[in-house]
Structure 1
Amino acid sequence: MESKRQQKMASLLQQELAQVLQRDLPHLFSGGLVPSISTVKVTPDLGVARVYLSLLLGTDAPERLAAIKEHTKEIRHALGKRIRNQARVVPELVFFHDDSAAYAAHMDTVLSKLDIPAPPPEDAEGDDTAGETPRPRLFK
């Protein structure tokens, strides 16, 4: 369970990293789409931040992640400029590919291909209460 301090730091890092990647360092992606940050998890000592990137469009996700990992030092430096007044130490950044959206899309296609038969219609003949008078309703 994350502490409030970890949650605040993770939220700050997520917002500021998004700004860094979109505004300060868009040249790192050479005209490609800037990845979105899906989650940031911070260790209890606030020394390491695990950043999960959503690299949806395109099949070159491993290459894009490798390019981001190459520029980790530059990204951390730009992040440090932005959060220098809010954080004492800029955490080490470790980037991971978040494929939960692709997994959800895959599960959606699998579930849509299932052939589930309709339930059988209910018979009035097999019902024992067919000849009885209906009970009055107490609640509507």
Structure 2
Amino acid sequence: MESKRQRQVAELIKRNFSIVLQQEGVYIYGTQPLVTVMEVQVSPDLSVGKVYLSIWNTENKQAVILQMEEDHARLKSALAHRLKRQLRRLPELSYFIDETLDEMNKVDNIFDRLYAEDQMPEGGSGAKDE
């Protein structure tokens, strides 16, 4: 169960890290990948943060994460500068790929294909609106 302070710090990091990626991301991983902060989870002692990122417009998502880890000092410095008045210590951040939207698109494509091939029954509670 997350405490109120954990949720506050996570939201603060999420909002500000998004801005940092807009400003610094071009210098780290280029202009092609579109990186979005989906969620941040902070440990109960506020020392560790997990940043879940959605990465679009590139085939090699892990390469973007590796580039961010290489320039971790630059990202952390920019984030610390933005949060210096709100937090005493910035949690140690680690980056993860959030596959939620990719999985959602795969399921949508499967349903679209099934409807196109008339393998899904018409009507009922699972009917697709068109």
Tell me if TM exceeds 0.5.
yes
Query: How far is 1:75 from its partner?
Result: 0.8
Matches within 5 A, 1:8-27: 8-27=8-27
Q: For each residue in 1:79-109, what CA deviation from the matched residue of structure 2 results, as whole angstroms up to 9, or x when unmatched?
A: 1111011001011010000111110000111
Structure 1 residue 37: Cα displacement: 0.3
Distance 2:39 2:120 in 1: 36
Which 4+ runs in 1 deviate beyond 6 A? none
**Percent identity of paired positions between Structure 1 and Structure 2:** 29
Confirm whether residue 69 of structure 1 aligns to residue 69 of structure 2: yes
Does structure 2 retain, via aligned residues, the 8 Å contact 1:43–1:49?
A: yes
What residue number does 2:120 align with?
A: 116
Task: Tell me the equivalent position of 1:91.
Answer: 91
Give the superposed CA RMSD. Answer: 1.6
Please state whether the residue corresponding to 1:38 is helix, strand or coil. Answer: strand
Q: Which has the larger radius of gyration?
A: 1
Deviation at 1:31, TM superposition (A): 2.8
Higher helix share: 2
Q: What are structure 1's unaligned runs of at least 5 residues?
A: 120-140
Aligned equivalents of 1:118, 1:97: Cα separation in 2: 36
TM-score normalized by the length of structure 2: 0.84
Verify the 8 A CA contact 1:21 1:34 in the aligned structure 2: no
Q: TM-score, normalised by structure 1?
A: 0.78
More strand by share: 2
Runs of at least 5 residues in structure 2 that lack an aligned partner in the other structure? 124-130
Following superposition, the deviation at residue 17 of structure 1 comes to 0.5
